[in-house]
Structure 1
């Protein structure tokens, strides 16, 4: 099966959704374990892509295509996993808060999280508190990630955390914040679980949030 896994890895690395869909069908036809196909094929391809990005051999558009191809693979195989564990590290709902239309940094974080094994639901920009909470509940998310580049809109980060506490949802979702004017102190003040300064830092912190209790260092940046 190593040849099939390699072809899947190459298809994801190249961002070819059409090839990925055909290979997913081949996985099912040959009764190959879906989780193995994702981990030994898809994840391998994303790791290659991530390494190429770090070495400046691949760029953001290629990362986005690779992430989309990986989603096709997972969406195609997930219904056939049965009792096998989820292929995702975790599920994250991400968006730029209400009153802010900046999305470059948020897009990079979303793509980097996706490439590193998270299922990412991107709500876009100007996202209201209600929409964050409604989507997080609908998607059964693990983490809510909020971005802001304007000090005037950062207030909505605090509003969301207050709402989660009021509705007794604060133990259901972890909250990570970031963006130009956001710093570790602001994250502490509003009661966020973590703060990240960069996309790579966000990945490390989200993996920690999925695996361990929140530690003080998470609010220190990266």
Structure 2
């Protein structure tokens, strides 16, 4: 039964049917299906398929955007039902999408996963400048800045933030972690980021590893997961 519901959620998100996706997500919750499975095996699976087909010119931007809207609806439905980790407070994370990039699904998934595993997450949203990241991170006394980007044209701002910290002599002020479709571990190492993750699920492992490390930000610590 669980597999059937998850498959229906996947189909609804793929088709961009947000109301149907929400109703199915509610049914899945009532059936006792783990909220993380609803997101990952239902919604994310659909977005992965849309992304692959978009790259192959089999679907186009409107279909991808509709799928994204349906995915957001599923996330909003199941997030209140996700259990917050019982571990002690692990740290504060400022998260946002790099300047010029309006994609927010992947970033939102990472933020949700971190919040349910003991982190205090401040989500700045999309199209966030270097100045804004640093302003809020300092005001919030954050430990980690997490930057997402799905556009190669926005990758530059990840490097810009790290260079800004370097130029101010404050590279050890924050750990900086990055992720997103075009981002690689090699790129993370090249720009001096502290961590890189391929997915929302793995992002928790990556941030945990950084939080538990005895190295300061910028000390050649590139956690790849």
Bin for the TM-score computed over the shorter chain: 0.5 to 0.7
Alignment of 1:157-176 (within 5 A): 157-176=158-177
Aligned partners of 2:186, 2:223: CA distance in 1, in Å?
A: 8
Residue ranges of structure 1 left out of the alignment (5+ in a row): 1-50, 71-85
- 1:3-152 to 2 correspondences below 5 Å: 52-56=34-38, 60-66=75-81, 87-152=88-153
| Deviation >2 Å, runs of 4+ | 53-67, 213-220
Q: Could you tell me which residue of structure 2 aligns to residue 207 of structure 1? A: 208
1:129-177 deviation per Cα after TM superposition (whole angstroms, max 9, x unaligned)? 0000011100000000000000001000000000011122211210100
Alignment check: 8 A CA contact 1:188 1:219 kept = no
Task: Tell whether the 8 Å contact from 1:205 to 1:218 is kept in structure 2 after alignment.
Answer: no
- Give the whole-Å Cα distance in 2 for the aligned partners of 1:63 and 1:211: 29
Does the aligned pair in 2 maintain the 1:63–1:112 contact within 8 Å?
A: no
The alpha-carbon distance between structure 1 residues 66 and 131, as it changes in their structure 2 partners (threshold 3 A), is: farther
Report matched runs for 1:167-186 at 5 Å. 167-186=168-187
In structure 2, C-alpha distance between the alignment counterparts of 1:63 and 1:90, rounded to whole Å: 24
Q: CA deviation at 1:201?
A: 1.1
TM-score calculated relative to the size of structure 1: 0.63
How far apart in 1 are the matches of 2:223 and 2:178?
10
| 8 Å Cα contact 1:92/1:142 also seen in 2 | yes
Tell me the distance in 2 between the aligned counterparts of 1:61 and 1:117: 19
Q: CA RMSD in A?
A: 2.6
Q: Secondary structure at the match of 1:152?
A: helix
Distance, in Å, in 2 between the alignment partners of 1:210 and 1:125 is 25
CA separation in 1, counterparts of 2:109 and 2:223?
A: 20
Query: Matched residue pairs, number?
Result: 155
- The unaligned stretches of length 5 or more in structure 2 are 1-32, 43-73
Deviation at 1:90, TM superposition (A): 0.8
Deviations for 1:43-69, whole angstroms, at most 9, x for unmatched residues? xxxxxxxx81344499633443247x9
Residues 98-135 of structure 1 show CA distances to partners (whole Å, capped at 9, x for unaligned) of 00000010000011110111000000000000000011
Displacement of 1:179 after TM fit?
Answer: 0.2
Using the TM superposition, give the Cα deviation of residue 209 of structure 1 relative to its aligned residue in structure 2, in angstroms. 1.0
* TM-score relative to the length of structure 2: 0.62
Deviates more, 1:169-178 or 1:124-133: 169-178
